[in-house]
Chain A
Amino acid sequence: MTTYRQTLEEAVVAALRAIAPELEPDALEPQLPLRNQVDLDSMDWLNFLISLHERFGVSIPEADYAQLVNLNDVVDYLQARLR
């Protein structure tokens, strides 16, 4: 059974793949830093956050960027704000 968290995670990975089409979802380690694994520069990162904003309506302030290191962080962050 697919949990809400899994659904969120799939949507986040889909947003990443829109920016980095070469990304293999299975190769992504959810505990390792995202920007290193996916080679996201600051423009990619901003576009990633914009697509999350469009998808979920959650606006992530710059001050919160530091909390969003790996995939789990991003999913936790969204989950907390979508309750």
Chain B
Amino acid sequence: MIEFKLPSLGADMDEGTLLQWHVKPGDAVKRGQVVAVVDTSKAAVDVEIWRDGVVDELRTQPGEKIPVGTVLATLREMGETVAPARALTTPRHPVSPSARRRAQELGIDPDTVSGTGAQASVTLADIEAEARVRGAVSPVTVSVAVSSSQASAPDRQKEMRKAIAAAMSRSKREIPHYYLSETIPMAVALAWLQQRNEGLPITERILPAVLQLKAVALALRRVPQLNGFYRDGAFWPCDAVHAGVAISLRGGGLVAPAIHDVAAKSLEQLMRELADLVKRARAGSLRSSEMSDPTITVTNLGDQGVESVFGVIYPPQVALVGFGKVAVRPWVEVSELRALPLVTATLAADHRVTDGHQGALFLAELRTLLQQPQTLIDAPGTLANNRGMST
């Protein structure tokens, strides 16, 4: 028997209201099929099933308000006709209270996770690692369906504004931010990019924002304390960089869904994924893993012409990197005044985890990497310091 649970959709979603089932007991379902619509503070969400099976029982009724992790329905395997009695109970390991709480938030049954703590107990780190593994295989895919939204557009706007306000108020209340800024010459990177793009069809062109995104991911190898989550009074670093990309929505509001494992991907792949993500974010169809697991946020407001961004960290992340407009400005290099394209990169970071010194190291590394665009083409996938949460 497979339990189908309400997944988490990020820091600001802890419950939802089931609006509608699209299936009934006995229906065969295919992986990716939309089986239910759940309303959240942000949007009406089309919940897709993550595997093939046959619906056994619907455990939640339309109109019910349910916390994240609630079993919505049970499924049988294809061909499994009778619900089998549980022949053997799997041996249970102790589960730490923080792990149990986090597991519930993530919709993970802690008894299905193998523990690495004392007496094989399941620790918070085990749950986080499991969540990342499941995120990678997309256990449940959820799309925010603006079109199927029950609420009218102004209501949705209001709800999204409320959700953003709640997350940002929490950020400003809980996170002692510090801010750093660095001017970075972009002449070398842009010349390299221009040369690269020149010979290629328009569909294969790469935007400067992609170079910046990749450089952020690689610079985090130097300062991995900026990449991860702050939870239960402690910092939980992540090996992979899942960069939340701030995308403004037409008509107002924004989302910052993740591009997964940015450091391990080529510029071409990052460009494709960014284009796809922007398109889907604006069409209102995002997946739960994209919504729930960014390890850092990158925001680029240069297109709007601002010089620098002083960002508000999206909890439970611990840093946000901002880029302003790339503009030709005066620059002195080896006592010589030149006109160069420059960009201001900023870092907003969490003082509970890092100090200005580490933040400065990060920005210096970012500047260095952007002077060597060839190092951004492909690079080892994980952070240099293997900090072992998912190992």
CA distance A43 to B246 in the complex (A): 13
Could you tell me which residues of chain A, from 19 to 65, have a CB within 8 Å of some CB in chain B?
A: 20-22, 39-43, 46-47, 49-50, 53, 59-63
Closest A-chain residue to B207, C-beta based?
A42
**How far, in angstroms, from A61 to B194 measured CA to CA in the complex?**
10
The CA-CA distance from A28 to B279 in the complex, in Å, is 23
Would A43 and B250 count as touching, CB distance under 8 A?
no
In the bound assembly, the distance between CA atoms of A41 and B303 in angstroms comes to: 5
Taking a contact as CB atoms closer than 8 A, the residue among A20, A42, A62 that contacts B250 in the complex is A20
B304 contacts across to A, CB distance below 8 A = 41
Would A60 and B202 count as touching, CB distance under 8 A? yes
Is A59's CB under 8 angstroms from B202's CB? yes
Q: Mark B164-202, 1 if CB is under 8 A from A, else 0.
A: 000000000000000000000000000000100110011
Number of A-B contacts (CB under 8 A): 38
**Majority SS at the chain B contact face:** helix
Complex-state Cα separation, A62 to B201, whole angstroms:
11
Inter-subunit contact A62/B207 (CB<8 Å): no
A19 to chain B, nearest CB (A): 9
Contact A46 to B198, CB < 8 A, known contacts A20-B250, A21-B250, A22-B250: no
User: Using Cβ atoms and an 8 Å threshold, which residues of chain B touch A43?
Assistant: 207, 209, 274-275, 278
Residue contact A42 to B202, C-beta cutoff 8 Å: no
The reply to whether the CB of B161 lies closer than 8 angstroms to some CB of chain A is no
B251 interface residue (CB < 8 Å to A): yes
Given A21-B250, A22-B251, A42-B209, the answer on whether A50 and B203 have CB atoms closer than 8 Å is yes
Range, interface on chain A: 10 to 19
Task: For residue A18, give the distance in angstroms from its CB to the closest CB of chain B.
Answer: 11
Query: A83–B201 Cα gap in the complex (Å)?
Result: 21
A42: chain B residues within 8 A (beta carbon): 207-209, 303
Which residues of chain A are near B250, meaning CB under 8 Å? Answer: 20-22, 39
Instruction: Tell me, yes or no, whether B205 is within 8 Å of chain A by CB.
Output: yes
Does A62 contact B251, Cβ atoms closer than 8 Å?
Answer: no
> B298: shortest Cβ distance to chain A, in Å?
14
A62 near B194 with CB under 8 A, answer yes
Least distance between B104 CB and chain A CB atoms (Å): 37
CB neighbours of B201 from chain A (8 A): 59
With A42-B209, A50-B203 given, name 4 new contacts (CB 8 A): A42-B208, A43-B209, A46-B207, A62-B205
Interface residues of A (CB under 8 A from B): 20-22, 39-43, 46-47, 49-50, 53, 59-63
Show the binding face of B for A, using Cβ within 8 Å: 194, 197-198, 201-203, 205, 207-209, 248, 250-251, 274-275, 278-279, 303-304
A-B contact pairs, 19 of them (CB 8 A): A20-B250, A21-B250, A39-B250, A42-B207, A42-B208, A42-B209, A43-B207, A43-B209, A43-B275, A46-B205, A47-B275, A47-B279, A49-B202, A50-B202, A53-B203, A60-B202, A61-B198, A62-B197, A62-B198
